[in-house]
Amino acid sequence: MEDLKKAIREVPDFPKEGILFYDITTLLADPGAFRKVVDHLAERYKDKKPDRIVAIDARGFIFGGALAYVLGTGFTPVRKKGKLPGETVKASYELEYGVDEVEMHRDQVCKGERVVVIDDLLATGGTAKAVADLVGQCGGEVIEYAFLIELDFLKGRDKLEGLPVYSVLHYND
């Protein structure tokens, strides 16, 4: 899977100086690379039989929707505050410069459902932890977190309270 790193553009000093941004749009534009990621994740989760894929706004939707389709499961989007029209559950998480909030429709995860939470990138883990809180508020269970990229040096997996984490690619610096 390490060959997928060649399909990801590295953009220095974006969105601000000193940050190395991993641009996955180049991977998404490569049909072979995109298919390889989705097929790889589908193979990982086919025997775990999740009831639902819960995906984090916005790039998580890309992988989550494709994975839910292949697995034949439900798909639930988690959005930033104020973007969903129905009754929602909410969870907040800390940013380096404040607090933000994510929401999910209350009726999108049922009591006892087993879910995989997916996003493109695991950095500090705050957003992913908040999503587990949403799933828990609805009575669901996170069986694993899945990410395309994990920035190991930020230790985001430590914030996820011992829940299983799977990342396709790892970056150590």
Percent of the chain with pLDDT over 90: 95
Query: Among this protein's residues, is 59 annotated catalytic?
Result: yes
142 pLDDT band, cuts 50/70/90, is very high
Residue of 37, 4, 44 whose CA lies nearest to 22: 4
98 pLDDT band, cuts 50/70/90, is confident
In the 8-state DSSP scheme, what is residue 16?
Answer: S
**Structure confidence at residue 97 (pLDDT):** 75
Pairing status of strand 114-122 against strand 52-56:
parallel
Catalytic-role residue among 2, 17, 87, 96: 96
Instruction: Tell me the domain boundaries of the chain.
Output: 49-171
Catalytic-role residue among 44, 59, 79, 106: 59
Cβ-in-10-Å burial (0-12, 13-18, 19+) of 52 comes to: buried
147 pLDDT band, cuts 50/70/90, is very high
CATH, domain range 49-171: 3.40.50.2020
pTM for this predicted structure: 0.95
Does residue 131 surpass a pLDDT of 90?
Answer: yes
Tell me the pLDDT tens digit for each residue of 8-40.
999 999 999 999 999 999 999 999 999 999 999
Cβ-in-10-Å burial (0-12, 13-18, 19+) of 26 comes to: middle
18-24 long-range contacts, Cβ below 8 Å, gap at least 24? 22/121, 22/149, 22/171, 24/59, 24/120, 24/148, 24/149
Query: Among this protein's residues, is 96 annotated catalytic?
Result: yes
Percent of the chain with pLDDT over 70: 99
Phi, then psi, of 132 in degrees rounded to 5: -60, -35
Residue of 91, 27, 26 whose CA lies nearest to 54: 91
